[in-house]
A and B are shown apart, each in its own frame.
Chain A
Amino acid sequence: MGKSIESILKKYDNCSRDSLISLLQEIQENEGFLSEEAIVKTGKKLKIPTSKIYGVATFYNQFRFEPTGKYHVMVCRGTACHVLGSLTVLQELEKVLKIKAGQTTRDGLFSIEVVACMGACGLAPVININGSFYANVTAESIKEIIESYRKKEE
């Protein structure tokens, strides 16, 4: 965090449209997400219509368009986790938080991100909340995990 969109864009002064993805990645790294403002400014910089940028960005799972929540839940959907039921975990999580992957709850507390593999296949299905790993998660345990974070906030 810290660098403004302008200062990032400045680095791409003589760049063409091929730099789009690395530019978006850098903005997301700083801002946590791609805002409408960021997309408009990127479009002006690289002379690409915003619709094209949005199209490219939505093609990849890595980009999000809402700020992350206070607790950012990453759900692994890699092969090992998939085999051991990560889809049920994700669906249950979406139900509990009443948001979809890529979204943030209205109170700004939780956000969900689906990731391809965390490299912790031995712990499958695995999730990660703000850096802490939770192993062998089930549809039941995910509810308790979320509840524990909610309690913290009370």
Chain B
Amino acid sequence: MSIQIEVNGKKLEAFEGETILTALKRNGIRVPTLCHMNDFIPSGACRLCVVEIVGNPRLVSSCSFPVSDGMKILTNSPRVIESRKTIIELLLSNHPDDCLYCIRNNNCELQSLAKEYHVIERRIHGNKNSFKLDHSSTSIVRDPEKCILCGRCVRVCEETIGVSAIEYINRGSKTLIGTTMQKGLNTSSCVNCGQCIMVCPTGALTEKNQTHMVQDALQQKDKTLVVQYAPSISVSIAEEFGMAPGTDINGLLNAALRKMGFKYVFDTTFGADLTIMEEASELIQRITEGKTLPMFTSCCPAWVKYIEEFAPDFIDNLSTCKSPQQMTGAVIKSYFAEQSNLKPEDIISVSIMPCTAKKFEMQRETMGRNGVKDVDIAITTRELIELIHLHGIDMKTIQPEITDSPMGVRSSAGKIFGATGGVMEAALRTAYKKITGEELVDFKINAVRGFEGRKEAKIKINDDLEVGVAVISGLGNVRALLDEIRNGKNDVHFIEVMTCPGGCVAGGGQRIGVDRSFIEARTKSLYDIDDRETIKVSHKNPEIIELYDNYFGHPLSHKSHELLHTCYMERDVLL
């Protein structure tokens, strides 16, 4: 029901039951917060969103206080501003103050607020806690000294991802965010998804930055430098360079990477096509030969680790296919190496991923052979942007270039891997062809598109076969589905899981501080590419056909099992 409130002397419309903050936001009034997150129940932890309600002796936190009819609100009264400023000063009183040396310099919510509220001197001196840096994870670095205890990471980890690797430890001034027994992320149940980094207002959570390793590699003149980038990368960085969010800058990216010093630039989307060839064949094999069903996608390394830790009873349900990153990596160090007369050990293979969990995936034991890893360095979108700036590349003046053969041509089915439902859609297109011998009439499978946490559909393949599919976006949504399967749900054959809500376009390695509209723009861009381009199915990618003719023979062949498939194991971690 619509009600009237008065904000700073102006009448505004609000709805019964909503919070003051929601009403203000909708009416274009910005209120600072450090703990608020959209779609989460407010915690009221940071107190920065306080406002004054006329007649109420105390300031209230607008994020958790409901509106009521006739309420008179002051959002910027001297009392409110003084109070917010004091909160910021208190937060800064035990902060390390090393902004210049912080990875979040110029992209830090605390820093921006300090500037906004004109904090220019240290009025309050607090005792600084000395906490240890948690460097134990392959993907994520935690610095509790920079933490302001807003609790966003704890809530994302618990409510969105369903993992709860981190929690508030201790009490009072000794409080910190930590893992069980404070043993570090590597022994915790952390799946390395990096969503905690995406919500951290300060530099307390960052990816394990490996730009220096890329820099070192670029100097090794006796090695051949090869790079691949994930399907979502080309649509996720445009805004950094002043272009509209979601713009596909695939060609510019190729040029930039060559300018940086990479000799060969490949597109992981080719690996996505390869994954589809193998995964669709595996699905058909599982269905026709009566093997373990439902089959789970294995492209998302955070999801794979989740199964190994939380649901090892489902390990056999995971597709044995490596992810596109690892498949591309394996082809680089085998087929490509042979074709170019290179020794696999003389190639340094770098991958650019929207994901922090890929740093974990590339170092898994089974991701290579004879001491040669499929991928040597995995960096995130953020690290890529850092490198582009570091190398002084002006994205606005360079000319687009094309990717290299034999992993340059891609289908648009591989491209939509970057969005939730994309792997499913691409796999179904190829599976349909493989079973019926005909192409789908309409390639668009709308039932698996969109941002909902769980989508289910029945896809009729022929008179005898209807494939039940489920798509999970946001790992926290998977637990209920797994329980249903344990309790006998048997109408799904194929399940795609992406840990990050929305898929890789919203991955934990992407730019920090973008809102939902950016994610939507990136997703739209991927689907636009799919509408625009002519090769819409992985099995029609000419380079894929060539690769099978020249090298692998056919999907699930002995050679492809050797290079493109992997295995999983139960993990003993502190759940």
- Residues of A with Cβ closer than 8 Å to B? 36, 39-40, 43-44, 49-55, 58-60, 65
Contact = CB atoms under 8 A, between A and B. Distances in A.
Contacts of A60: 171
B181 A59 contact: no
Interface string B147-180: 0000000000010000111111111000000111
A43 B163 CA distance: 13
13 contacts: A40-B575, A43-B575, A44-B575, A49-B167, A49-B189, A50-B189, A51-B167, A53-B180, A54-B169, A54-B181, A55-B167, A58-B171, A65-B181
Interface of B: 158, 163-171, 178-182, 188-189, 574-575
B545 to A, nearest CB: 47
Contacts of A36: 180-181, 574
Nearest to A48: B164
A58 B178 CA distance: 11
Contact of A54 (B158, B171, B180, B189): B180
A51 B171 contact: no
A58 B169 contact: yes
Nearest to A43: B575
B575 A59 contact: no
Contacts of A58: 169-171
Nearest to B176: A58
A50 B171 contact: no
A52 B178 CA distance: 10
A25 B134 CA distance: 30
A88 B180 CA distance: 31
Given A50-B189, A52-B164, 19 more contacts: A36-B574, A39-B181, A43-B575, A49-B167, A50-B575, A51-B164, A51-B179, A51-B180, A51-B188, A51-B574, A52-B167, A54-B178, A54-B179, A54-B180, A55-B169, A58-B169, A58-B171, A59-B168, A60-B171
Nearest to B170: A58
B168 A55 contact: yes
Contacts of B182: 54
A55 B163 CA distance: 15
Given A49-B189, A50-B575, A51-B165, A39 B170 contact: no
Contacts of A49: 158, 163-165, 167, 189, 575
